[in-house]
Structure 1
């Protein structure tokens, strides 16, 4: 195999690998069946959405096994904003154990109001 052909093959393989790596992870089921669910819809590159990441990590650790905490990047999953009726990101949507939407917030949301809402839904 010539060097040029080998270079082209390697270049093609790198492009193919990059294309597969760029595929977003599958969207999780929302709401999680039988669980209180918080879904945060945002984008990894959005500044307020980035500010939500440590809050969501803390909430996820605090409510592990009791509530589903889901993040969906709407820039990677372009059909999701329409499904959820989004107007702005980030948006947090809370679902009760039966899967009914009970609360929605647009913009950054701190840990305390999230915890208060989850505690109320878990107590029901």
Structure 2
């Protein structure tokens, strides 16, 4: 059985223009040394394999401290922020969860 890989980490400056571009977007904030962050990133990578049109980006909340702290007011990681197609935040979750729970959230907020 092959090892699941986490999402590649993006720089916020490179992807922020995608928020509100007509497609729902998820920002997955985490840290490279956090077990729960890595586990959540692997779940999102699995979702992207099934739904290649999704916009899901992993952001290193420690390296991009000003973004995570000052723009999104994050206090804990992992934190996932879900945006609708217009760029409005519709859901925020702190912690990790398994794919079946994520599938329910994606459906509820119009990703599926």
| TM interval, short-chain normalised | 0.7 to 0.9
Answer 1 or 2: higher relative contact order, Cα 8 Å, separation at least 6.
Answer: 2
Going by fraction, where is helix more abundant, 1 or 2?
1
1:36 to 13, 18, 24: 24
| Counterpart Cα distance in 2 of 1:92 and 1:76 | 16
Corresponding position of 1:26: 11
Paired residues in the alignment total 100
1:120 to 85, 108, 112: 108
Q: Calculate the TM-score normalised by the size of structure 1.
A: 0.70
1:72 to 59, 62, 71: 59
Alpha-carbon distance change, 120 to 25 in structure 1, aligned in 2, over 3 angstroms = closer
2:76 to 76, 85, 88: 88
Unmatched segments (≥5 aa) in structure 1: 1-23
Corresponding position of 1:59: 47
| Counterpart Cα distance in 2 of 1:25 and 1:59 | 17
Corresponding position of 1:20: none
Unmatched segments (≥5 aa) in structure 2: 1-8
